[in-house]
């Protein structure tokens, strides 16, 4: 999931981990505050 800020990404990551899903945080080291991505093991239902 794309997030707008690093704070949003960290909150989402913590939420997903509390539910028992594996997560990984991706971000650009040059500008880590813009558009970080949280990869999660939970299935996306459309």
Residue 46: CB partners within 8 Å, gap ≥ 6? none
pLDDT by 10s per residue, the chain, length 46: 889 888 999 999 999 999 999 999 998 877 766 789 999 988 777 6
What's residue 10's pLDDT? 93
Decide: residue 13, CB within 10 A, 0-12 exposed, 13-18 middle, 19+ buried: buried
Distance CA 7, CA 5 (A): 5
The domain spans of the chain are 6-40
Predicted pLDDT at 8: 92
């Amino acid at each position: 999931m794309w997030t707008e800020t690093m704070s949003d990404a960290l909150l989402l990551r913590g939420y997903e981990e509390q539910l028992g899903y594996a997560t990984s945080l991706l971000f650009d080291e040059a500008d880590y505050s813009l558009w970080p991505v949280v990869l999660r093991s939970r299935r996306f239902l459309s």
